[in-house]
Structure 1
Amino acid sequence: MGPEEDAAFSRYVTARRDHVRRTAYLLCGDWHRADDLTQIAFVKLYGAWDRIRDHGALDAYVRSCLVRATVDESRRPWRREKAVEILPETTDSFDIASVVADRELVQQALEHVPSGQRATLVLRFFEGLDVAQAAAALGCSEGNVKSQTARGLAALKAALQSVGESGNGRGGEGR
């Protein structure tokens, strides 16, 4: 790549880095893994930069790289273990706005949804993609996106109930 292409790539990464990182976090549920996945997606983009004809589709290409990297990483044996921190010194009082509590509850529940369904939910509801766009990003059929969305919503609903009942959601008393 020449200096003009390097500059264009740098501008794109600077402009989109935070958004891609947030999407990666929603896909994997861990900021450190989200950083790794974001880096993997941008490295793949850099390698394909001179072959990409439509620079208006860069977000779709990066999103596709991100989803594929997330699924690939979730299949690795060392990724199947999850560290859980239980802080015994937490208090019953809750003084953060309920919006933040709801966001944390959804993020905790999203961690319990299988990675393929989680990817579909993030693309459909966080990224705002329709069924056809999500299918293109995931490299699957529209019917698969619809069924994964339905299963993912059911899994998310069950996880929300489970997380809420276990007391991790901090609902109720402190509000």
Structure 2
Amino acid sequence: MDRHDGFREFVLARQQALMRTAYLLMGDAHLAEDLLQSVLTKVVGHWSKLSRDGNPEAYTRKALVNQYISWARRPRPEFPSAAPPERGASHDEATLNRIVLRQALAKLTRKQRAVIVLRFWEDLSEAQTAGVLGCSVGTVKSQTHHALARLRTVAPELAELHIQEVAR
């Protein structure tokens, strides 16, 4: 029996969900791919123990968030425009909302962005989010409050939308 048995199947089954999370954290598809690849390289090293004793998806999600936060020294991705494109026939409403959301998320701190992605995209509870981030539930509540206030300021047009629907 190979110590990596099941890893390929895990990646094939969860790759899209993990990539979406990485994308929402990074705000750029190429950087998200780099982040996910870096994390999966580390996860495979622990696979035999994870597949036997742990929860591979929770471990991978936590590693994804931790790696994202540790990349704080990297420059943030630049976006070509500070404002979304003009509303017109070439862009539908959902596309514009995704652009606005991506730009708004880029204005949050890394921890605030991680909290928003985990709470509202991954639909984790406050306790689960605290476990992933390695902080207290109170910190999750505080970061969520500050992040939502910042989002309301930088993108008031998103207030009426559900973040899960916009992110898809």
Bin for the TM-score computed over the shorter chain: 0.7 to 0.9
1:7 lines up with 2:28 in the alignment: no
CA gap 1:92/1:22 in 2 versus in 1, 3 angstroms: closer
Equivalent position SS for 1:7: coil
Cα deviations by residue, 1:69-91 (Å, 9 ceiling, x for unpaired): 001112x2xx23543424xxx66
CA contact (8 A) 2:19 2:32 kept: yes
Shift of 1:151: 0.7
Which position in structure 1 is the counterpart of 2:43?
45
Which residue of the other structure, out of 14, 19, 22, is the alignment partner of 2:20? 22
User: Paired residues, what number?
Assistant: 155
Q: Give 1:1-175 correspondences, 5 Å limit.
A: 2-3=1-2, 5-52=3-50, 53-55=52-54, 57-74=55-72, 76=73, 79-80=74-75, 82-86=77-81, 93-161=88-156
- How many Å separate the matches in 1 of 2:157 and 2:107? 10
- How many Å separate the matches in 2 of 1:141 and 1:37? 25
Letter in 2 for 1:16: R
Equivalent position SS for 1:113: coil
Percentage of identical aligned residues: 38
CA contact (8 A) 1:132 1:142 kept: yes
**Larger Rg, first or second structure (1 or 2):** 1
- How many Å separate the matches in 2 of 1:92 and 1:123? 30
Shift of 1:162: 9.5
Runs of 5+ in structure 1 lacking a partner?
164-175
Equivalent position SS for 1:51: helix
- How many Å separate the matches in 2 of 1:125 and 1:13? 23
CA contact (8 A) 1:116 1:148 kept: yes
With normalisation by structure 1, the TM-score equals 0.79
- How many Å separate the matches in 1 of 2:47 and 2:76? 35
With normalisation by structure 2, the TM-score equals 0.83
